[in-house]
């Protein structure tokens, strides 16, 4: 199931292979297998949860050290986009305060002056919460994708085996009537 989503168009896609050859890109950066996809999701979510500019560049700087599907990682970074950033970062700030046992700031204003005045009170809880989501949540999603992929492969195999048994039974039955 989940595997089919990622593998759907690859069989007929010679363009990807031409692109890889033309730009001499290591194949593992575009591989579509369980490990590559799940690592791509992990790396993308990890960087996506961190409030920083140029998150996609952080993904690219990770490529020499880890082998993962880069397009998937870059797309996962876009989890944090201009629409989702304020609630994500506020959630990280609240989580950081919870972990640190702090009350936090009662009234939040979305103005630059307010942020300048409260920067010292926001920074530590925000990044403690960020660490939680970057490490824990991205790891949980990584493990979930791995398990879903394994389940998907087993289900496909069971479906094929069942279809093969049905075909054999029909063949036997058909031969018995002749």
pLDDT in tens, 62-78: 988 888 988 899 999 99
- Mean model confidence pLDDT for the chain: 84
Phi, psi of 104, deg, nearest 5: 90, 175
Q: CA-CA distance, 146 to 160, in Å (whole number)?
A: 21
Question: Can you read off the two tokens belonging to residue 105?
Answer: 């700031």
Q: How high is the pLDDT of residue 151? A: 92
Sign, Cα dihedral of 33, 39, 41, 43: negative
| pLDDT given for residue 5 in this prediction | 58
Write down the pLDDT at residue 177: 61
- pLDDT-derived band of residue 9, with 50, 70 and 90 as boundaries? low
SS3 22: helix
| pLDDT band, residue 170 (cuts 50/70/90) | confident
At 162, the pLDDT band (50, 70, 90 cuts) reads confident
pLDDT for the residue numbered 17: 67
In whole angstroms, give the CA distance from residue 155 to residue 147: 12
Per-residue confidence (pLDDT) for residue 2, from 0 to 100: 54
Task: For the chain, state the CA radius of gyration.
Answer: 23
Query: Residue 127 class from Cβ within 10 Å (0-12 exposed, 13-18 middle, 19+ buried)?
Result: middle
State the Cα–Cα distance between residues 20 and 62, nearest whole angstrom.
Answer: 19
Could you tell me the two tokens for 81? 């986009």
Predicted local confidence at residue 92, as pLDDT: 93
Binned at pLDDT 50, 70 and 90, residue 131 comes out as very high
Q: Model confidence over 36-66: pLDDT tens digits?
A: 899 999 999 999 999 988 999 999 899 888 8
Q: Which of 158, 155, 153 has its CA nearest to residue 34? A: 153
Q: Which residue has the higher pLDDT, 166 or 48?
A: 48
- Gap between the Cα atoms of 4 and 176, Å rounded: 38
**Per-residue model confidence as pLDDT tens digits over 68-123:** 988 899 999 998 888 988 899 889 999 999 999 988 887 777 778 888 888 888 89
pTM: 0.76
């Amino acid at each position: 199931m989940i595997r089919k989503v990622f593998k759907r168009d690859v069989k007929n896609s010679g363009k990807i292979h031409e692109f890889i050859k033309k730009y001499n890109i290591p194949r593992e950066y575009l591989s579509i297998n369980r490990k590559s996809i799940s690592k791509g999701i992990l790396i993308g979510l990890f960087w996506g949860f961190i409030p920083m500019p140029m998150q996609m560049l952080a993904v690219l700087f990770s490529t020499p050290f880890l082998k993962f599907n880069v397009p998937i990682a870059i797309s996962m970074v876009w989890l944090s986009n201009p629409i989702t950033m304020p609630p994500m970062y506020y959630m990280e700030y609240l989580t950081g305060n919870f972990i640190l046992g702090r009350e936090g700031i009662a009234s939040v204003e979305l103005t630059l002056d307010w942020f300048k005045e409260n920067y010292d009170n926001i920074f530590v809880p925000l990044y403690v919460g960020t660490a939680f989501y970057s490490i824990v949540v991205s790891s949980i999603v990584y493990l979930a994708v791995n398990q879903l992929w394994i389940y998907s492969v087993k289900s496909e195999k069971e479906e094929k085996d069942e279809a093969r048994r049905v075909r054999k039974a029909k063949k036997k039955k058909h031969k018995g009537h002749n």
